[in-house]
Amino acid sequence: MAFLSSRRRRSRLAPELDDEDLGRLMKNLLATARTSAIAMTDMCVAQMSRLLEQAPGDWDRRAHRMGVLAEFLAGSRLPRSWATREPRNANALVLYAWSEVARARSQGRLDDAADVIDSCLRAAELTPQDPTPWVVALTAARLERWEQQRVFGVWNEILARDRWNREAYLTMLRYLTPEEAGSRMQVLEFVDALRARMPANAPCAGTELTAQVFQYHSVLDRGGFEALVARNHWSHATAAQALERVAHTWVQPGFLRHARARADLNVLAYALLAADRRHEARAAFEAIGGIVTPWPWEAGGDPLAAFDEAQRRVPRDG
């Protein structure tokens, strides 16, 4: 069977995941950047506007595309230029704010948090039904370590517009960890409350398993003997049950339909290998189709190398 060798040849980092339109746009933006500055801005804005205006009301797809573009353009002046030229364009305002947030992740703080929040609020006024400006504001609030009352105020604005917003749940999960502004108990309560209400294939379905990978990484980070026996984390009831709930459903064709489903499948494959459930991981790798996300594989160094090494450990036969 050619499963392993074919997937190894095709493994690649693809921020757009399986969004072909977004992938084409990113390639076009790279090509356009070689032109003059004025032409670059005009052409890039036109291309981005066309993509971001597609599928109105699909907030999950919109957040995926906006987030990928923001990361892609975080070191560029283009988002600020677009927002300056079109101060009443919600797409321009949100992309600018999100690109500032993306840039801030590497330095741990926003250069001008008030400006970012103001851009989000102006975008929210222009498109009151869209949760995306509030999602970006939530991420900015997390970076700025706002007190929980203010953060939950932003959180409630998102839920009122998009009940199962993936980016929002993962942002809140990180905010509530003991490493940031919460505690282990708050994480457990947050995940339990979500699981009790959420459809099994909601866009935020990966929140619980992501929380378990966070905890597993915290054990690894301690080093020494604890890191050597970190695999035991997956034998604990809460971790084992979280993995069992999704191991056989997520890999079914068409079960996960949200824009970042491949990212969640990467988390599943990683967790199954960490738990030494290698036979079950085979279906997850097949569903991934070689599209690798940096997290969680980068915890072991180079994400592509870690992904390929994990894939080699998967038995060829079911």
* pLDDT at res. 39: 57
Q: Which CATH class is domain 18-175?
A: mainly alpha
- Spatial distance between the Cα atoms of 306 and 8, rounded to a whole number of angstroms: 11
* pLDDT at res. 155: 98
3-state secondary structure the chain: CCHHHHHHHHCEECCCCCCHHHHHHHHHHHHHCCCCHHHHHHHHHHHHHHHHCCCCCCHHHHHHHHHHHHHHCCCCCHHHHHHHHCCCCHHHHHHHHHHHHHHHHHHCCCCCHHHHHHHHHHHHHHCCCCCHHHHHHHHHHHHCCCCHHHHHHHHHHHHHHCCCCHHHHHHHHHHCCCCCCCCHHHHHHHHHHHHHHCCCCCCCCCHHHHHHHHHHHHHHHHCHHHHHCHHHHHHCHHHHHHHHHHHCCCCCCCCCCCCCHHHHHHHHHHHHHHCCCHHHHHHHHHHHCCEECHHHHHHHCCHHHHHHHHHHCCCCCC
Beta bridge pairs of residue 13: 292
* pLDDT at res. 16: 98
* pLDDT at res. 2: 41
* pLDDT at res. 10: 77
Phi, psi of 291 (to 5 degrees): -90, 110
Could you state, in order of their start, the residue ranges of all structural domains in the chain? Answer: 1-17+201-318, 18-175
* pLDDT at res. 110: 93
- Spatial distance between the Cα atoms of 170 and 130, rounded to a whole number of angstroms: 18
* pLDDT at res. 6: 44
- Spatial distance between the Cα atoms of 156 and 168, rounded to a whole number of angstroms: 10
| Peptide bond before residue 15 is cis, with ω within 30 degrees of 0 | no
**pTM for the complete prediction?**
0.93
* pLDDT at res. 184: 94
Which residues in the chain come in under a pLDDT of 70?
A: 1-9, 33-40, 317-318
